[in-house]
Amino acid sequence: MSALPCQTVCNMSPTLHLGDVPSEILLQICDYVYDAHQPSLCALGLVNKQYHAIANVALSSTVKIYVRGRNQLSREVDGWVTLLRRRASLKHVHRLITEGDMPLQRDDIEKVEPERGWNRADDRPFDRDLDPVDPIYSIEKFADTTPGIAQDEDDAWRPLAALIYLLPALQDLEYGCQNQFPPCLLQFLHQFRPHCRLHIRCFHLRTLSHPQPDKYEILLATSPCLYSIVANYQIATPEGSLDHNEEAVLSIASGLVPNLNQVRIFRDRDPFEMDEIPIPPFEQWGGFDLNERQGLSIGSLHHLRLAFHPEMTKQDALSWNKTTNFSALRSLVINCSIASDALDYLAVSCNFKSLQSLTFCKDNDGHNAARDEDESLEDCSLLRKFLSSLPPLSAITLKVRVHESTFNLLLKHHSSSVRQLLLKPHIIDDLRPFSDSLLMTADQICRMATCCPLLEDLYIVVPRTFGDDHEANVYRSLGSLRKLQTLSLLLNVKDSNNFGTGLPIDPYFDEFNRQHILPRSPMRKGHARLAMMNSAIDKTLGLAIFKSISKGKPAGSMQLESLRLQTHCGGRFYWIVDPICRYVGRWIELKRRIRDDKRKLLLVGRQDPSESYPWIYKPEIQPIFRKIWPERYEGSNWFDDWCSLPLAEID
């Protein structure tokens, strides 16, 4: 029998339609599409009844309610219940988010505000890593809200408790209101939804300094539903009593709450320190004094985030190592200064064998800025020691001075596993340079591409050199990262200016550019002109950089999906130039469209101009600005007339 022609064989192969895919797989696809592009999921639900039923499961999985008052909360809950019942979707809700603030009954004045739509919330799950700076809730709010008030105001939360009762599949309750977690909600969780995970974003116990702590607060602190907490506290309250919340959180995390998985703790500036008042003597906290506390093993948190003012001490590290098993941690965030002996203790005496993600950030206050060069080198050495003690990580964020030696260690020790590498400079303020932080070169990027085969998300600092061949070569080399999909670049404007005297005068400066920007100032108009030209990033430059990186991608590579650009230090040598440099150097973000038939089209976003002082346009700077960018037409606005230098084209 003769063989069938190839075309005939191809025509006989079965064609798989979306409707033939099992519902379980379609549901997983819908969850992915929701995270990637919600409008597509809504459109899928309009195709037919089968797709509508499946899309409805994903679209109804999250309910978000913003609390502003009693009547408003009742109306919003009623609206959600009506909508979910009409869609037969009460059984599909897995996540309930509450935010806002419930005023006291005497202050609850009805306000006319636009009603919020009842669409699925677009917030990320609480257990995902957040940005390096988390929202810190008002301690004054905590101080004013006593447990007695929480009990008296409990009826205001009854509609939300009734909603919890109606959601049989509820898995996560994320409470982001500044009020104490209401007793009726905790009662309904324990009675009807004991397996629901409770996330409290403003965890604060009010009666720890009282002779007898409130029974409800003890019940809340020991709830088996408690899964994650964000705790913000001061050592002492403004009233002069000791705030024992740190000891309470340590006790809770040490095994008192067996299901606790995540802790984020912020030790804020002390009021006595700010007022330079001696701290009075305080009595030690006696603990929860529970029979259940005896015989408990050490805690096993998976995610820990620490931020201490003014710094994390060795005693802080010792306390947390005794509280929770560091070998079980999967994610660690240190978002503050850290004492040298504390970092050395973490490197030598702690076991982080399960760690997958590390975020190590220094704060930006003068406490760090005052350190001399010897201390900086010592910190760098200790950081390398700490990084060497860790297992190969998949996600690393460093917001410190990244020296070349630290970069080399990362390539040697973590390159085989790292998927996200964010090397953010330690920026003291917008007018100062990065000190000795690493500026990435094309050769270093090529080394990274060779050593880091899995790298998908990258943040680095690169030199901005007027778009010349060297700068263009840096962008082209980024294409050698085969799996890179998300990229953020901080462009460090070329250092043609320094504080103080002795500024170099470019031999190409004409008479205008040699003029001093102000009398008795060492800065010339040419220095300001170069800074503004080098700081400018517009859509055309962003597209050129995106295209250059994509062009450098070898065959079979993942496409670049997102690119974010921003300049820094352009106007740091004089305050009248800085606002202009900030304005023309605002961040710009380019994202590839997710639709398969529009992958070559990019969405371009830009930072809000109000964040970059566009209204500060000093008369002294106008002739310099117009020397670079003349009016497009008579009377045109200066903030519309500028453009970037073109990017050099390289073969």
Domain limits, the chain: 455-651
- Contact present, 473 and 436 (Cβ < 8 Å): no
Tokens linked to 481: 């990262």
In Å, how far are 146, 176, 508, 629 from 104, measured between CA atoms?
12, 17, 68, 56
Record the pTM: 0.87
Distance CA 211, CA 152 (A): 21
Contact 232, 205 (CB under 8 A): no
- Measured over all CA atoms, what is the biggest interatomic distance in the chain, rounded to whole angstroms? 101
d(CA 45, CA 543): 35
Q: CA 465, CA 216: separation in Å to the nearest integer?
A: 62
Give phi and psi for 554, each to the nearest 5.
-70, 165
The pLDDT of residue 556 = 92
Extract the residue ranges of the chain whose pLDDT is less than 50. Answer: 1-12, 112-140, 143-144, 274-275, 291-293, 364-374, 496-501, 614
Cα gap 131→79, rounded to integer Å:
32
